[in-house]
Amino acid sequence: MQRPFPTAKIGFLGGGQLARMTLPAAARLGCEIHVLDPDPKCPAAALAQRFSCGSLTDPTALRALVEANDVTTYEIEAVDTEILKQLEAEGHKILPSPKTVATIQDKLIQKQAFAAANLPTAPFVAADSPDVDALLAFGAPLVQKARRGGYDGKGVVVFTDIIREDRILPVPSVLEAHVDFSHELAVMVARSPRGETACYPVVEMVFDAEANLLDTLLAPARVPEAVVRAAQALALDAVRALDGVGLFGVELFLTREGDLLLNEVAPRSHNSGHWTTEACLTSQFEQHLRAILDLPLGSTTQLRPAAMLNLVAGPKAQGAATLSGLETALATPGCTVHLYGKAEARPFRKMGHATLLSESPEAALAAAQGLRDVLRFGESS
């Protein structure tokens, strides 16, 4: 089959670190990336072949991006799906479909889609104007989640026992039962237009009780093989229930009783797939492009155990970012550092990550945790 060259012109909705890390894979496959982002200093702006400065909810900017490219995809789901649906109806290729992204944007509708497909989630109810009575009626322990606009834990409030009125978010929400999980797991799933599917190994978010931090991830997860297979099957079912075509990050809970529950799905590359760049035959970023271009999906075989350490700005971060420990990290065997090119630090902003490869998952995790206090973003002001 003869192909045009470049292989494809790809419009990217959002120019953050996920778009930035897709660029090397795009270059290898002969694709050109055209980023749309409101911030001219966003991580992918200076590296993409084309950059347009504009809002992801501006119909004119969205139309211009979609019309200028062969296929349009996402690195963030906070986009105007109505205009994208219209552009799709006009014959433009947008993957995942705006309908899938619209379902995911609303945590209530997303959960209802799983329930309609008989897929397990924590019990939940809708709460249009949540108040103490609504939360008490549902019963603690519970988690309140804003239906729209939450990310990185913003828009999520956990009420373990006492329900304090001032902690309730005054926005349309989902109330869900607090899950007593033994593991928080994630699976990256790819599904192409021709119907090919691929699942990556299941990974585990590691909560460090001593540091009270959830900043490391381990691949593969320390769970039995039967749980791995069930988690991959459930992740694939979740993507099918959403009519998902593209790349998806599926977050799951493993309860202390051994049951798997879906938490949420992201319609794009995902923090929990960063380790694939160093540890798998095909990175999540290349897989994303293969899926939306309907090319054969790549092998998801893991070559070595891996751990990932998120480099997050401190709680008081503000102003110019500073980094310490880079030399130590680079001198650590099996360590790869990724810096996202964000000049300005803000509280808890994701600034970079490090992947640690080793002989065993335990050794990789120990190496990642050992770097935590060394490789750090501080603040100069």
- Residues near ligand ATP (CB under 6 A) are 122, 143, 145, 150-153, 155-156, 176, 178-179, 184, 251, 263-264
Q: Which two tokens stand for residue 61?
A: 């900017």
Q: Which residues contact 132 (CB under 8 A, 6 or more apart)?
A: 163, 165, 168
What, of Mg ion, ligand ATP, none, does residue 313 touch, CB below 5 to 8 Å by kind? none
Which has the closest alpha carbon to 369: 211, 238, 237?
A: 211
Cα–Cα distance measured from residue 23 to residue 30, given in angstroms and rounded to the nearest whole number: 10
Please state the closest distance from residue 316 (CB atom) to Mg ion, in A. Answer: 24
Task: Give, as ranges, the residues between 203 and 262 that touch Mg ion (CB under 5 A).
Answer: 251
Contacts of 190 (CB under 8 A, 6+ apart): 196, 197, 198, 246, 247, 248, 287, 288, 290, 291, 297
* Residue showing the smallest CB distance to Mg ion in the complex: 251
| H or E element at residue 109 | helix 107-116
Residue nearer to ligand ATP on the CB measure, 71 or 312: 312
CB nearer ligand ATP, residue 270 or residue 342: 270
Supply the minimum distance, in Å, between the C-beta of residue 143 and Mg ion.
Answer: 11
DSSP 288-345: HHHHHTTPPPPP--B-S-EEEEEEE--TT--EEEEEE-HHHHHTSTTEEEEE----EE
Residue 149's binding partner out of Mg ion, ligand ATP, none, with CB under 5 to 8 Å set by partner kind: none
If the CB atoms of residues 244 and 298 are measured against Mg ion, the closer one turns out to be: 244
Kindly state the smallest distance separating residue 299's Cβ from ligand ATP, in Å: 27
Task: Enter the tokens of residue 87.
Answer: 């552009």
Q: How far is the CB of 265 from Mg ion (least distance, A)?
A: 9
d(CA 253, CA 261): 5
Q: Which residue's structure tokens are 């997303």?
A: 110
**153 contact, one of Mg ion, ligand ATP, none, CB 5-8 Å limit per kind:** ligand ATP
Least distance in angstroms from the C-beta of 264 to Mg ion? 5
Q: Is the CB of residue 68 less than 8 Å from the CB of residue 74? A: no
Nearer to Mg ion, 22 or 272 (CB): 272
86 CB neighbour count, 10 Å cutoff: 16
Neighbouring residues of 195: CB distance < 8 A, sequence distance ≥ 6: none
Name the residue nearer to Mg ion (CB basis): 36 or 174: 174
Minimum CB–partner distance for residue 177 and ligand ATP (Å)? 6
Look at residue 176 and give the partner it binds from ligand ATP, Mg ion, none, a contact being a CB closer than 5 to 8 Å depending on partner kind: ligand ATP
Pick the closer one to ligand ATP by CB: 122 or 307.
122
Using the minimum distance from each CB to ligand ATP, give the nearer residue, 265 or 329. Answer: 265
At closest approach, how far in Å is the CB of 117 from ligand ATP? 19
Positions touching Mg ion (CB under 5 A) are 251
